Amino acid sequence: MPNAAKHADPEFRRIRDAMNRRSNANPGTTCRRCGLTLAERRKVKPKDIWTTGHPDLPGDHGYAPEHRSCNSSLGAQHANAKRLGFDYGL
């Protein structure tokens, strides 16, 4: 599913809003991609925020908190892989 369609899905938007509220309310929340809390991540990415990540990789289960920088980095990797002709089921 293209990114714009994924993000416009009403169910995703509802889940995202609730998950982002929970992530922001709990300083112990860790990122699915890097395993760091927001405070730890902000030592290298001071303006980072929480986003809700889709289950994009094998082994991912449902939506989960991800730093915006980690989520964007994954999106760029997908675009590069597609451009190079790799199709690994994403």
**E strand intervals along the chain:** 50-53, 64-67
54 or 67: CB nearest Zn ion: 67
Residue from 19, 31, 38, 74 that binds Zn ion (CB under 5 A)? 31
Per residue, the 3-state secondary structure of 50-68, as one string, reads EEEECCCCCCCCCCEEEEH
Residue from 15, 34, 49, 57 that binds Zn ion (CB under 5 A)? 34
Confirm or reject binding of residue 32 to Zn ion (CB under 5 A): no
Q: Which residues contribute to the site for Zn ion (CB under 5 A)? A: 31, 33-34, 67, 70
